[in-house]
Structures are given as C-alpha cells and as structure tokens.
Amino acid sequence: MARTFFVGGNFKANGSIKSIQGILDNLNGAKLDPNTEVVIAPPSIFLLTTAEKASNGVKVSAQNVFHKPDGAWTGELTTKMLVEHGIEWVILGHSERRTLFHETSELVADKTKAALDAGLNVILCIGETLEERDAGKTLDVCCSQLKAVADKIQDWSKVVIAYEPVWAIGTGKVATTEQAQEAHEGIRQWLSSSVSADVAAATRILYGGSVTEKNCKDLATQPDIDGFLVGGASLKPAFVDIINSKL
C-alpha cells in the first residue's frame, strides 16, 4: 500500500491573529494536492480559532502535550483538552523541546503513549546534532530515540516520524537529497528489524530541516521520504508549493 504524502507546518512561537488569519486564507483558498495530507501547528493560544477556520482538508496540531491527566500542571495542556476541542494531532520530541526544555527520550515516549492512548495522532520528531553526524552516529541517535518509544507503544498506525537533523533546523542548511534518503532508509530498516516489517512499510517518515519551495521537489522524489515537517517556510505563501511538491 502506498503511503499518503504528508506535509506538516510547525509555526513554533510565531504569529499574530492577523498573520495566522492570512495563512489560513491562503491555505483555504489554494488548490492543494488532494493526495497530500496537510496538518498545521500554530501556537497553543491560536489552536481553537485555527481549528474553527481551517478548511480545504487542512487539519490542526498542537505543538506539545503533557503526559499526565488533568491536574496541578501549571502551564500545560493535557490530552483530554486537545481531544475535547477536536485537535487531532500533536508534535512530540521536537529538538527544541529536547534541547531547550531538556525533554528526555523517555519523557517523549511517555507523552507519545499518553497521546496515542487518548486517540491523538503523533508527529514524532527525531534527529542528530552536527557533532553526532560528524561522529557517524546519526542512526544510533535516531534509533535510540525511537527505541524509547517502541518500548512503550504497540500500535504505530497513528504515528508519523519526522527526521529532523538538528543542524539543519532554522539554519538554512539542508541535508543533501542523498543524506536525507540514507537516514530515512536506515530508520525504516530499524523499524522493520525492531518493530515489524508491516510497521516499517506503513509508517510515514518525514524530512524536516530548512525545507523550502526550492528543495522540496528533489527531496520528495526519494522512496523513503514521505513528506515534510516545515518550520519557517510554513508561515509563507510558498508553503502551498511545498504541499504540492509531488505534483
């Protein structure tokens, strides 16, 4: 079975009422590839208005969620809150969460399990630093991050993996097409040997890291690249070109 191409837009801590409405107007009125699944992740304060106004098949994701039930967790969102308001997706394990907020792979795994148990879909981010790549540890790092999750979940049908080399996020640097495909192929091989061949064949693996309308078409031709998780470019009109990169 062919894997449905997937393009996610992670707005991070960017946007205003006016700018996000502009992004939505652009997406709602655009001719988007009907064979590509599109999910956007605005800052949490804009989640509800974005979900209310998004159309044209565009779904909405939170950028994070807590792994405990409702309670005394100041500043957090729980899975119950997201589900109650019709938010279907959540991004977990992004390198900024891992580095800036010191989230361990075990915590990311706990969050992933909690999200899946609540019925949410997860965009699970993994990736290596430049030092780790230079040391030849790309797959060791990525597979270690995945193993923490594999140890705690059984069903991968609602998980999309986003391979995001840390050194390429927001830097303007991008992995070459060959580097990206090599990493994606290695991740898929790990899934096959460590989880199951069926999971490996069905799970979508996205590339993220300074994806633009200029490099997306070449990346999209690779057999193990099933889409993109886009950062800064998702705030621009050219995001539509990335969504349509398979056309």
Tokens of 105: 């792979």
Beta bridge partners of 227: 6
Write the single-letter amino acid at 140. Answer: D
- The question of whether 164 is a catalytic residue gets the answer yes
Q: Which of 37, 164, 184, 213 is catalytic?
A: 164
How far out from the chain centre does Cα 228 lie?
Answer: 8
**DSSP conformational letter for 126:** E
Separation CA 200–CA 7 (nearest Å): 19
Phi and psi angles of residue 5, each rounded to the nearest 5 degrees, phi first: -60, 145
On whether the CB atoms of residues 3 and 246 are closer than 8 A, the answer is: no
Q: Which class for 100: exposed (0-12), middle (13-18), buried (19 or more C-beta within 10 A)?
A: exposed
Tokens of 227: 């889409």
- The question of whether 94 is a catalytic residue gets the answer yes
Where are the extended beta strands (E) located within 64-183? 89-92, 121-126, 159-163
Q: Which of 94, 128, 184, 213 is catalytic?
A: 94
Active site residues: 94, 164
